[in-house]
Amino acid sequence: MKYQILLSIILLLGCASTNRPMVEPESYPAPDFSNLLDSYISFDKSAQKEDQSVIIVNPETDDFTPPKPFIPILEQPEIKKSLNDFTCPVRGKVAVAVLLDKNGDVLKPQIRRGIHPLCNAKALEIASKAKIKPAKLNGELVAMVLTLPISFN
């Protein structure tokens, strides 16, 4: 009986997902995409105060199709390959703000919330390699600011 209890305890301890601590993200300054493109879309009304290139869109009333990854970002082959040999020292989610141009290319990724310098750097690398279908407004491709959440478990 005592062997069964001991075995159960060992199995439970072995089932813990990771010994890396979970950390709360730390906030960074608002991203600055001013003067990168003639115009781009944002849902953040405060962004227009700083950059007159920003077009505020209401997705409920405008003919708007949001951007979306061709396949989930962390499952894209190039990104999976870069994550193969990487282990973040902590667990958590990094938020990366990017400017997605009309072609779906990521411009100037910037950390919005970070968890660790190594993880933040890897998140910037992942964001810059992401393949994303661009947004459409009134049937035309448009540039847009979006935030990519990248989880390290």
Mean pLDDT of the chain: 83
Mean pLDDT of 18-38: 79
Residue 57: per-residue pLDDT: 81
**Token pair belonging to 15:** 């089932």
Q: Is residue 151's pLDDT more than 70? A: yes
Instruction: With beta carbons less than 8 A apart as the criterion, state whether 27 and 139 touch.
Output: no
Spatial separation of the C-alpha atoms in residues 4 and 118, rounded to whole Å: 42
pLDDT in tens, 36-81: 888 888 877 777 677 778 888 877 777 888 898 888 888 999 998 8
Q: Which residues contact 39 (CB under 8 A, 6 or more apart)?
A: 53, 54, 55, 142, 143
Q: Is residue 96's pLDDT more than 60? A: yes
Instruction: With beta carbons less than 8 A apart as the criterion, state whether 41 and 140 touch.
Output: no
Provide the pLDDT confidence category of residue 15 given band limits of 50, 70 and 90: very low
What type of residue sits at position 135? A
Q: Record the pTM.
A: 0.77
Instruction: With beta carbons less than 8 A apart as the criterion, state whether 90 and 152 touch.
Output: yes
